[in-house]
A and B are shown apart, each in its own frame.
Chain A
Amino acid sequence: MLPWLHVSRQIIRSQRWFFKMAVIMLQSWSDSLKEAKKTALLQDGKRKVHYLFSDGKEMVEEYDVKTDDLTVRKWRKKSTLGAQGPWEVEVGDTSPVLTSEPHVIMESSSNPVLMRKDTKTSFQWRVRNLPYPKEVYSISVEPEERCCVIRTTNKKYYKKFSIPDLDRCRLPLESSALSFSHANSTLIVSYQKPREIVSLEQDLLRELKKIKATSEGDTDCRTQ
């Protein structure tokens, strides 16, 4: 057998292995979602779902009842010493909760703010308070660091962000899926959702609708 043929076959094999692995990984995330203890709550036209995973992490998702859009997804985990950490927002409004206690240092409200707001077909990030023209921005994918980077030529804004959904399913990042637009001093970055994610989300939503949701707000949360 010719050596190059041998090599190419190996490549094919390794690629096949990669896809197999990807399917397994995809499987493992959807499995852990299935295994997580879930509690659902219908409130203010939103379906709120609380997940408790076997490793102690908690996740809360909020879906709009009418459109089935994901409006909020946040995480909470325990620190090394066992203290309850704060909620970390992955999707939805990230503006900090105003507390009465005096803050030490806080970002000024005039700074650019990044928040994620997905649509059915794409992941979407909005950066508000960015008044500069469209030519200033450049957005790229860093496959080895598994993140996207927003750069500005006037060196005013720089942000690295990962796409946790793709990380959880171990899917590769494609620069072709990325696009952006700018209007009303808001930069909108979109990333086309891969097929696997779309089907996973549809499955999940179907699953969630099966959970009997309590409509009363003050019932005990079983998973907590």
Chain B
Amino acid sequence: MAAQMAATKVPEVRDITRIERIGAHSHIRGLGLDDALEPRQVSQGMVGQLASRRAAGLILEMIKDGHIAGRAVLIAGQPGTGKTAIAMGIAQSLGQDTPFTAIAGSEIFSLEMSKTEALSQAFRKAIGVRIKEETEIIEGEVVEIQIDRPATGTGAKVGKLTLKTTEMETIYDLGSKMIESLSKERVQAGDVITIDKATGKITKLGRSFTRARDYDAMGAQTQFVQCPEGELQKRKEVVHTVSLHEIDVINSRTQGFLALFSGDTGEIKSEVREQINAKVSEWREEGKAEIIPGVLFIDEVHMLDIECFSFLNRALESDLSPVLIMATNRGITRIRGTNYQSPHGIPIDMLDRLLIIATSPYTEKETRQILKIRCEEEDVELSEEAHTVLTRIGLETSLRYAIQLISTAGLVCRKRRGTEVQVEDIKRVYSLFLDESRSSQYMKEYQDSFLFNETQGTQMETS
């Protein structure tokens, strides 16, 4: 019966728009606060951590306000207590226009550029400039769309689009990307559309008045607009947000022939940066541009060394600096690059500048709730007992391990053609995959039979 069902199942039609994969934090949609910034117990993918979420909500207000520059926040807590989730929640609630740059502490150690250069680039990526620029748009009423598919069925589609205004008519050749977005927007003859010539973005303005008498099935929200006048191509001022780093890159790229080969930016000269800072503040005074300070999130901040911290100290004092959010799961540990111990591996002078948000381990109820949300996100159905077992595993080993088991148990269940994950499936994957503590246990028992055990040296330093 089940086999028959599987055989007759129509292959799922994949939507082109949903190409994101399910990541560790893709269930987070916001901080889960109400209007008074009071945290709801379960909301927007967030569970528990009420005090930290409320604190993050206050920080969020400060960022949205945009007046205060160069504040730094540290989210500290044990592994798997939702530090990155809170940062992601902030990012999600900021909206489109506020820049949010996330890097990991170890990302800045590159051979191609110095640590401080990597940090300054990250800083400048997190500052947005909203500015008017002139772009060319095409605005007209669609007369005809003609899309030719190649006879063989494969290969690029060829398309023509005829647009008109009250004065003229023009035929355009379409690229394959354009054809796709036209069909995605469901553009048809009689629609009035604008196309951004550089990016190819299509905006539907409505239907032409001349088509108002068509007895087509139309939604109630269909708007009727006049056919545009004059020329099809117009120059229009549009407001968009670019980051300071993007302006840096535009202005520092080697000119001419060499630009073809130097794809990456490399180091940006400090003169260029100064010039751009001056230019931007000039624009701001003239009212041409608006500065939107964003957020720079540095995960695993204990991986930064003492040089980076002193650079951060200095960089935070600039008025063109974003709000810095850092996260760490370390306790008192060595500051990288020194022999000193310090809380979170961060020097005391840096710590002094920080607002510290602490996260605490999840309770049983919260763990249960998170696992439920993850099951929904990963599209796995869990029986009540399996859920209880998984919650216990989550409490005794770690939340991350329990989350890992969801998709694997889901696969085991699907292989035995079940619809709901049972306790047996959980048991199966629990025995197949070791968690961290069982693995360490195993190591201790069988260490002698592993390679290189004869040179019993000092323990590897991991801090």
Using CB atoms and an 8 Å cutoff, list the residues of chain A in contact with chain B: 79-84, 102-111, 151-152, 155-160, 224
Contacts and interface: CB of A to CB of B under 8 A. Distances in A.
A137 to B, nearest CB: 12
Contact of A105 (B197, B230, B246, B250): B197
Given A82-B251, A160-B230, A155 B175 contact: no
Contacts of B177: 102, 104
A152 B170 CA distance: 13
B172 A107 contact: yes
B171 interface: yes
Contact of A81 (B172, B242, B255): B242
A129 B200 CA distance: 26
B437 interface: no
Interface residues of B, number: 38
9 contacts: A82-B276, A104-B177, A105-B172, A106-B172, A107-B173, A108-B171, A155-B168, A156-B169, A224-B255
B231 A158 contact: yes
A102 B256 CA distance: 21
B14 to A, nearest CB: 23
A59 B176 CA distance: 35
Interface SS of B by simple majority: mixed
Given A105-B175, A105-B197, A106-B172, A81 B131 contact: yes
Interface stretch (B20-28, B30-38, B159-167, B368-376): B159-167
Nearest to A102: B175
B175 A160 contact: no
Nearest to B259: A84
A155 B167 contact: yes
B168 A107 contact: no
Given A81-B250, A82-B251, A105 B171 contact: no
B195 interface: yes
B42 interface: no
Interface string B185-198: 00000000001011
Nearest to A156: B169
Contact of B173 (A106, A157, A158): A106
Interface in B118-147: 131-134, 138
B178 interface: yes
B59 interface: no
B173 to A, nearest CB: 5
Given A83-B250, A155-B169, A158-B167, A104 B175 contact: yes
Nearest to B275: A82
Given A84-B255, A105-B178, A159-B231, A79 B133 contact: yes
A159 B178 CA distance: 25
Contacts of B316: none
Contacts of B161: 105
Contacts of A108: 160, 170-173
Contacts of A81: 131, 133, 242, 246-247, 250-251
B174 interface: yes
A10 B327 CA distance: 76
A157 B168 contact: yes
B230 A158 contact: yes
Given A84-B255, A107-B173, A108-B173, 18 more contacts: A80-B133, A80-B134, A104-B175, A105-B161, A105-B172, A105-B178, A105-B200, A106-B175, A108-B160, A108-B171, A109-B173, A152-B167, A155-B164, A155-B169, A158-B165, A158-B231, A159-B168, A224-B255
A142 to B, nearest CB: 12
Contact of B138 (A105, A109, A151): A105
A102 B133 contact: no
Interface string B415-446: 00000000000000000000000000000000
Contacts of B134: 80
* Of B164, B169, B195, most A-chain CB atoms within 10 Å: B169
* Of B133, B171, B173, B246, most A-chain CB atoms within 10 Å: B173
A105 B195 contact: yes
A84 B254 CA distance: 11
A110 B166 CA distance: 20
Nearest to B200: A104
A160 B131 contact: no
A82 B166 contact: no
Contact of B170 (A80, A83, A111, A224): A111
A102 B279 CA distance: 34
A103 B174 CA distance: 8
B27 to A, nearest CB: 35
A80 B134 CA distance: 9
A152 B164 CA distance: 13
A156 B143 CA distance: 12
B171 A107 contact: yes
Contact of A160 (B231, B247, B256): B231
A102 B231 contact: no
Contacts of A151: 167
Nearest to B131: A80
B238 to A, nearest CB: 12
A107 B173 CA distance: 6
